[in-house]
Amino acid sequence: MNTLTISTISKTYSNGVSALSNVSLELGNGLFGLLGPNGAGKSTLMRTIATLQSPDTGTIHLNGINVLEKPLEIQKQLGYLPQEFGMYPTLTAETVLNHFAVLKGIKNAKQRKERVHYLLEQTNLFVHRSKKVGGFSGGMKRRLGIAQALLTNPSLIIVDEPTAGLDPTERNRFHNLLSALGEEAIVIFSTHLVDDVKELCTNMAILSEGKVLWSGIPEDAIEEMGGRIYGKHIHRADLPFYRSNFEVIAELLFRGKPQIIVHAHTKPGHDFEPLEPNLQHVYFSKIHAHQA
């Protein structure tokens, strides 16, 4: 079992943007979803954990090792897949992976080949190993990126927005791969899609404007919302009235008709329909409470 302890991390960029503010989280093996809108600070947090940039204050420990003081030691235990993963379009998948394996210090050619083949198989790319990476689909590129991140058998895997641009089949396949990795390592992935977290994560945090609004087990958050989520179809013109008189956490179009989702401790009116809470409601309500 691995543990990652993030304590009171803050970061303000030189342009004055406060990207992280007092972030504290405790993670173990399994999939951890970092959910938040664009600009929430997800990439900043991930780059900080991956020792690619320093925070202003705070500490991070991986299995007792101080990450910020011993970056080289951490990099050996870390697999990092950034949002934009540079590839070499004219090289084959096997050549690319072999190249990364050399860079990561796997010196023995036989060991290297074995590891590369093993990871190509793990990521379902073995049959494509002799194809040029430039012709790969988005999902295949992401999987090759993961194979690269796994070369040194990391205890901590960080993937930034892994499902962006993937079609549903590729996304599903990628989810399965991440789930399997979570059995032996801490896997952190960031997303702005609630569905990614709902389907996948054992633990999660909601981040907005650099702050952790909530962290824990998705099912617990959903249970907390029991009996507190109501929906109502309305006329578009009445929206301002509802916004000022109710805690409207979301405004949706349901089969072309405007619908509001309201958070309330008791039924807000006879024409409101109680809804079975889901993670989307949790997300909307935490973001709404933060902005209010």
Q: Does 17 bind ligand ADP (CB under 6 A)?
A: yes
Query: Looking at beta carbons only, is 13 or 88 nearer to ligand ADP?
Result: 13
Residue with tokens 């399997």, as numbered in its chain:
180
50 binding ligand ADP? (CB under 6 A): no
At 102, list the tokens: 């050399």
Which residue, among 43, 138, 110, has the nearest Cα to 118 in the 3D structure?
110
Strands 248-254 and 257-263: antiparallel
42 binds ligand ADP (CB under 6 A): yes
The single residue among 41, 55, 79, 182 that binds ligand ADP, judged by CB under 6 A, is 41
Nearest to 5 by CA among 34, 26, 22: 26
**Contact set for ligand ADP, span 136-195 (CB under 6 A):** none
- Which is closer to ligand ADP, CB of 43 or CB of 51? 43
Work out whether 39 is an interface residue with ligand ADP (CB under 6 A). Answer: yes
List C-alpha distances in Å: 254 to 32, 169, 260. Answer: 31, 25, 9
Least gap, CB of 95 to ligand ADP (angstroms) = 31
User: In the complex, what is the shortest distance from the CB of residue 41 to ligand ADP, in angstroms, rounded to a whole number?
Assistant: 4
How many angstroms separate the CA atoms of 180 and 166, rounded?
19
- Interacting span for ligand ADP (CB under 6 A) from 39-47, 147-155, 193-201, 278-286: 39-47
Strand partners, 230: 262, 274
Q: Indicate the angle between helix axes 93-103 and 138-149, nearest 10 degrees.
A: 30
- Report whether 222 contacts 210 (CB < 8 A): no
Inter-CA distances, 37 with 27, 29, 191, Å: 21, 25, 8
Q: Stretches 1-9, 32-40, 121-129, 276-284: which one binds ligand ADP (CB under 6 A)?
A: 32-40
Residue 71 contacts ligand ADP per CB under 6 A: no
Instruction: Give the nearest distance from C-beta 287 to ligand ADP in angstroms.
Output: 13
> In angstroms, what is the minimal distance from the CB of 169 to ligand ADP?
26
Q: Which of residues 51-70 bind ligand ADP (CB under 6 A)?
A: none
Out of 6, 9, 19, 212, the only residue in the binding site for ligand ADP (CB under 6 A) is 19
Which one-letter amino acid corresponds to residue 216? G
Q: Residue 133 or 206: which CB sits closer to ligand ADP?
A: 206
Residues 6+ apart with CB under 8 A from 146: 79, 81, 123, 159, 162, 174, 177, 178, 181
Burial 265-284 (b: 16+ CB within 10 A, else e): eeebeeebeebebebbbbbb
Report helix, strand or coil for 273.
strand
* Number of chain residues interacting with ligand ADP (CB under 6 A): 12
CB of 21 or CB of 280, closer to ligand ADP? 21
15 touches ligand ADP (CB under 6 A): yes
Q: How far is the CB of 47 from ligand ADP (least distance, A)?
A: 8
Q: Contact between 40 and ligand ADP (CB under 6 A)?
A: yes
Smaller CB distance to ligand ADP: residue 39 or 138?
A: 39
Min dist CB 23 to ligand ADP, Å, is: 11
Contacts to ligand ADP by CB under 6 A: 13, 15, 17, 19, 36, 38-44
